[in-house]
Structure 1
Amino acid sequence: MDQLSAMQTFRRVVDLGSFSAAANQAGVSHTVLSRQVKNLERHLGTQLLNRTTRRLQPTEAGLLFYRHCVQILEQMQAMRLELSEHQQQPTGTLRLGVSTAFGELELGRWLPDFVEQHPGLHIELNCTDRFIDLLEEDVDVCLRVTDHLPDSSLIARHLAASEVVLVAAPAYLERHGAPDTPEALVRHPLLGYSHLQHPQRLRLSSAAASQEIQMPRRLSANSPMALRAAAIGGLGIASFDRFIVQDALGDGRLVRVLVDWQLPARKLHAVYPQSRYLAPKVRAFLDYVQRYYAAPRWGH
């Protein structure tokens, strides 16, 4: 029995919670992985997994073995990387997850420079507005702009603050008038992002007060880029991360609304699986985006 391969299989099954997910990631059949773990249990003389119809759960012995597996496999990975050319020059495929808006509007500003600095890397982009499972979908790093990160074993590195602004098209404000107080917003339709828990609710604050406003909804969408197009088209008022509308504010297609009031800012994070040793390609990427976003990028 190839004990190292069996340990890798066991770790993958525990991380992903099922043989099916582990088999899909490894590109082999469910039967092959199940047989490997059974042979490992026979070799060790103890049961490692409690198998149910819904999910696999490590036994007490399985948890102990899992901790040793993680330590041994990461030490082996570190040894291989230290002995290879990868330690000097990042190579291979970097799987990167981003939102659709970030992919369309931000990556073009800095990704070409990063790729030029690391010609041995191939970038594989996963652009989606849903929160993906990095382990199940085999993504190395995900860039997320959010006001809340779910609890998980992932590492989240803060890169930058993302200002949220309230905007509308000049033509819309000419037809309907520009609101001069938060209370006046209730007479205007909101273009709402449907992935938010409360798409019609805005929390506004100034130096002296804070208010929560419920706006009537004219349009909701699960795509920030579709909402951006609707706002530019004059359908109503919308709130966006500034990077989504920075160019439209710059050329006058959109203008700020209630500039003396602020919406809660969000944060840009780089999220990646926890590991004692980062692959050079991941470390190079994290260091690059940390340096890039250390300088303010989404100005007023």
Structure 2
Amino acid sequence: MTSLPDLEAMAIFAKVVEMRSFSAAAAELKLSKATVSKAVTRLETRLGARLFNRTSRRLALTESGARLADRARQLLADGEAAEDEILAQSSQPRGLVRLAAPMSFGLIELAPLLPEVLAAYPDVAIDLHMSDEAIDLVGMGFDMALRIASLPDSSLIARRIGPVHRHVVAAPGYLARHGRPTHPSHLAEHACLGYAYLPTPETWRFVNAAGEEVAVRPSGPLRANNADALLPALEAGLGLAVQPDFIVRDCLAAGRLEVVLEGWSPPPVALHLVMPPGGPRPARVEVVASFLARRLAQRCAIAARPASTDGVS
């Protein structure tokens, strides 16, 4: 396999040609004169040709050196231009930000904020991907994602934005027909509507203020991979479900659903903004991340306000 060109040595060679001196090139590049000399010698060895005729007083290009000089200068100029372009993009909020978010949260809480962030940063564009499934940020090339979870340790950089409260809810008609459960163990006698992306969808876990933990295995007529899809069945009185506050808030306020199992709650989860590891990040990513973290923290505080026991939040 052919090895890659020694671009560093070519760039140093071009700088020596430009400055007409090894010492001046070393000072310009903030390198030692020995490092500059070794780079040129390395290049000469690789090419099998002398590039300079050197005396104590004079430095002159050989025929081979003269042929290489123009190309080396162009390589150096292209490299400097490429760095300048990327640095300019990094310092100015400009370009595309790829963002992933859960479907329901994205529609209810995130999407209303996008006109504001786009107005604040007119040179920034957002590619929004919404799915309740946790995607591979690095593998799919996303700049950031919003996730509602108790995040496991990982290489991702996570910023906690705020808590997300979840409740067991049911329609008044369902409770009138089947009774109101007061302990998680009572759920074995009820129809439970399942959300496929719960941390443990086959097992619902609860904890009370005293720290007592209970796990139950729910069963029921419907399971979906999006929590919003459970709302029609909930309101029709087909069962109970664990739902985040931001999805059922309006239904609770209108009395179409009620909170049950007061005093018991699912394990706590929070909204996080996660990014791939590494840095520094382009300005377009930083400004969008800061904007969303600030505004969603406000929204999260409202959405996470506990619902009252009479079903009105």
Q: Could you tell me the TM-score, scaled by structure 2's length?
A: 0.65
Determine if contact 2:165/2:268 at 8 Å carries over to the other structure.
yes
How far off is 1:85 after superposition? 6.2
Segments of 5+ residues of structure 1 without an aligned counterpart are 5-42, 44-75
Give the match for residue 258 of structure 1. Answer: 261
Give the match for residue 236 of structure 1. Answer: 239
Q: Distance in 1 between matches of 2:136 and 2:199?
A: 20
Q: Distance in 2 between matches of 1:119 and 1:287?
A: 16
Percent pairwise identity: 35
How far off is 1:92 after superposition? 1.5
Write out aligned runs for 1:38-117 (5 A): 80-82=85-87, 84=88, 87-88=91-92, 90-117=93-120
Give the match for residue 190 of structure 1. Answer: 192
Give the match for residue 293 of structure 2. Answer: 290
The 1:224/1:78 distance shift into structure 2, 3 A limit, reads: farther
Counterpart residue identity of residue 176, structure 1: H
Write out aligned runs for 1:1-300 (5 A): 80-82=85-87, 84=88, 87-88=91-92, 90-149=93-152, 151-196=153-198, 198-208=200-210, 209-295=212-298, 296-298=301-303, 299-300=305-306
Determine if contact 2:168/2:260 at 8 Å carries over to the other structure.
yes
Per the alignment, in what secondary structure is the counterpart of residue 119 of structure 1?
Answer: coil
Determine if contact 2:220/2:239 at 8 Å carries over to the other structure.
no
Larger Rg: 2
Q: Distance in 1 between matches of 2:278 and 2:159?
A: 14
Q: Distance in 2 between matches of 1:280 and 1:100?
A: 26
After superposition, the C-alpha distances for 1:32-65 in whole angstroms (9 at most, x for unaligned) are xxxxxxxxxxx9xxxxxxxxxxxxxxxxxxxxxx
Determine if contact 1:202/1:263 at 8 Å carries over to the other structure.
yes
Number of matched pairs: 228
Q: Distance in 2 between matches of 1:284 and 1:180?
A: 46
Counterpart residue identity of residue 259, structure 1: E
Counterpart residue identity of residue 139, structure 2: E
How far off is 1:280 after superposition? 0.7
Q: Which stretch shifts more, 172-181 or 281-290?
A: 172-181
Determine if contact 1:200/1:217 at 8 Å carries over to the other structure.
no
How far off is 1:286 after superposition? 1.4
Q: CA RMSD in A?
A: 2.6
The 1:288/1:97 distance shift into structure 2, 3 A limit, reads: same
Q: Distance in 2 between matches of 1:125 and 1:281?
A: 15
Give the match for residue 78 of structure 2. Answer: none
After superposition, the C-alpha distances for 1:251-276 in whole angstroms (9 at most, x for unaligned) are 22221111221211112111111222
Q: Distance in 1 between matches of 2:247 and 2:5?
A: 51
Q: Distance in 2 between matches of 1:217 and 1:77?
A: 59
Determine if contact 2:90/2:281 at 8 Å carries over to the other structure.
no
Counterpart residue identity of residue 140, structure 2: E
Per the alignment, in what secondary structure is the counterpart of residue 102 of structure 1?
Answer: helix
Determine if contact 2:182/2:262 at 8 Å carries over to the other structure.
no
